[in-house]
Amino acid sequence: MTPRSALRAGPLALVLALAGAVLASACSSGPAADPRPLTRPAEDAKPAAGGGPAAAPARALARTAEHQRRVHARRLAAARVWGLAAAPLLPPAPPRTKPALATEPGFETDGGGPGLPPVITRVPTDDRVIFLTIDDGHRKDPELLRMLRELDVPVSAFLTDDAARDDYAYFRALRDLGTTVSNHTLHHPDLRELPYAAQREEICGQQRVLRREMGAAPRIFRPPYGNYNGDTLRAAKDCGIDLVPLWQQEAFPGRWTYSRADTAFHPGDIVLTHFEGPSEFGGTMADVVRTVLRKANDEGFAVARLEDYV
Ligand SMILES: [Zn+2]
């Protein structure tokens, strides 16, 4: 029953339909979802006082409330283990239709043109979501895998072969958490300094590596340093790429750099960080994810999965 049809069926039905919608949303989020029933089957449950036609809906409502209470308690407990005062906000259901993407003003390039992958720094959406992307692949920190699994936070990875090559198994484990692994070249050059053929090899070469190591070639590519030209976009397209996401903010352990004067998150912002550690950026991957989640919670944003929107 949809909320609209429930309106016609009466106020109690509306409450149940809305509760069901909330439940479906809460249950769609990874480890919080549990295929086992959290309460006893309805036939075992104690009848509502007085029985009558309202008893079964009342029991269903009670089960919904109990389920939500348990899901929330689990998420809060996990958040506290990871040093957060509150559970990360849950993203809304992914959009049924992905937003149309076009290169953002100021990101056009000479020699670019129609049909080339768009260059974006945020996703056009009104949802209060941001996207966390992690680049290169030098550090393979097992604590990051545990944290993302326990908090059910989606990320996207952009791997350079030079950095990731000594342990692609780590990134397969990350992929198995639902992370999409995308292309960040073979050797992390400044692509603008290379002719077309060399750019194409950097991108297509990493497509081949990721197909071999991950089982599928990506459709998303991020140029190192965010540097690109028309040849980059043509090469990316020739290698099967259809999107070039850059970023709005860069997160470090306990600090940020921003690409615009307004430092607040905006809906659809893409956040960058790197697979690094204390010797590279003064903290752990858990520290940087905490930094992102605290700002997101403070500003009323959820971390959503980039590939659900693009
Ligand atoms: Zn990079």
Per-residue pLDDT of the chain (310 residues; tens, 9 = 90+): 333 433 334 434 433 344 443 333 333 333 333 333 333 334 344 444 455 667 888 888 888 889 888 888 999 999 999 999 999 999 999 999 998 898 998 888 876 667 899 999 999 999 999 999 999 999 999 999 999 999 999 999 999 999 999 999 999 999 999 999 999 999 999 999 999 999 999 999 999 999 999 999 999 999 999 999 999 999 999 999 999 999 999 999 999 999 888 999 999 999 999 999 999 999 999 999 999 999 999 999 999 999 999 9
Per DSSP, the chain holds a count of helices (H) and strands (E) of 11, 9
**In angstroms, how far is CA 119 from the centroid of its own chain?**
18
Domain that holds residue 302: 119-309
Report yes or no: 251 and 155 within 8 Å, Cβ to Cβ.
no
In a shared domain, residues 167 and 65: no
Q: What is the number of structural domains in the chain?
A: 2
- Position 97 in a domain: no
**How high is the pLDDT of residue 256?**
96
Rounded to 5 degrees, φ, ψ at 157 are -110, 140
Residue 300 lies in a domain: yes
CATH assignment at residue 133: 3.20.20.370
Give the C-alpha separation, 123 to 309, whole Å: 7
Ligand 1 mean position to 146 CA, how many Å?
23
Does residue 121 contact residue 270 with C-beta atoms inside 8 Å? yes
Q: Is residue 136 part of a domain?
A: yes
CA–CA distance, 46 with 184 (Å, rounded to integer): 58
Same-domain status, 136 and 7: no
Judgement on whether residues 77 and 123 belong to the same structural domain of the protein? no
The C-alpha atoms of residue 245 and residue 160 are separated, in whole angstroms, by 15
In contact, 19 and 3? CB cutoff 8 Å: no
105 in a structural domain: no
CA distance 293 to 303: 8
Amino acid residing at 213: E
Q: Is residue 112 part of a domain?
A: no
Whole-number pLDDT of residue 114: 77
CA pair distance 63, 139, nearest whole angstrom: 44
Q: For residue 244, what pLDDT is reported?
A: 97
DSSP H or E run through 244: strand 244-245
Looking at the fold, whether 56 and 165 belong to one and the same domain comes out as: no
The rounded distance, in Å, linking the Cα atoms of 54 and 74 is 30
CA of 184 to the centre of ligand 1 (A): 7
Q: Note whether 197 and 125 are same-domain residues.
A: yes
CA of 267 to the centre of ligand 1 (A): 24
Q: Do the domain assignments include residue 38?
A: no
Whole-number pLDDT of residue 15: 39
Q: Answer whether 171's CB lies under 8 Å from 157's CB.
A: yes
Co-location of 58 and 151 in the same domain: no
Same domain, 213 and 293: yes
* Shared-domain flag, residues 292 and 169: yes
- b/e map 124-134, b = 16+ CB within 10 Å: ebebbbbbbbb
| 73 shares a domain with 202 | no
Give residue 170 CA to ligand 1 midpoint distance, Å.
18
Q: How many Å lie between the centroid of ligand 1 and the Cα of residue 62?
A: 50
Between CA 55 and CA 46 the distance in angstroms is 10
Give residue 53 CA to ligand 1 midpoint distance, Å: 62
The Å distance, Cα 188 to ligand 1 centre, comes to: 6
User: In this structure, are residues 273 and 251 in contact, taking their beta carbons and an 8 Å threshold?
Assistant: yes
Whether residues 289 and 179 share a domain: the answer is yes
Q: How far is the CA of 31 from the centre of ligand 1 (A)?
A: 30
Cα of 225 from ligand 1 centre, angstroms? 6
Would you mind telling me the total number of residues written for the chain in this entry? 310
- Which residues does 128 contact at the CB level (< 8 Å), separation at least 6? 89, 267, 300, 301, 302
- Residue 266 domain-assigned? yes
DSSP helix/strand/coil, 216 = coil
* Strands 270-274, 129-136: pairing kind: parallel
Pair 139, 65 in one domain: no
Same domain, 77 and 125: no
